[in-house]
Amino acid sequence: MGEFLPDYLIREQTAVGTLVVFGVLRVIAAAIGYGRGWRISAIGQCCLGAALIYCSPQLFDLLVHAYHARVASAELEGKVTGCAIALFCAPILSHKLGYE
């Protein structure tokens, strides 16, 4: 019998990874946008679109395989949580750094 990771570990690992990826992405995008004179709302919308694309494989698995999607559900919850925290907190950091 195979060993399985508990749902909470999958959820936490995915949330932390997503938080790091999208936090860094948002701050780098703000720095580049500031240098080129882009509107900060456009940068935010692009990062939100990237988050939706990033979460779509697990959403697809969850919708197609509703009964056997334990791992996809935990991954989706972790990714959504990490994206939400990163896209909420990264503008605060960008503002403190002077890019917004």
- CA–CA dist 87, 97 (Å, integer): 16
Report the alpha-carbon angle 78-70-64, nearest 5. 100
- CA–CA dist 53, 18 (Å, integer): 13
- pLDDT tens per residue across all 100 residues of the chain: 446 778 888 899 999 999 999 999 998 998 899 899 999 889 989 999 999 999 999 888 888 887 667 788 888 899 999 999 998 988 888 888 777 6
Neighbours of 35 (CB within 10 A): 9
Residue type, 44: G
Three-class DSSP category at 64: helix
- DSSP class of residue 98? T
pLDDT (0 to 100) of residue 1: 46
pTM of the model: 0.81
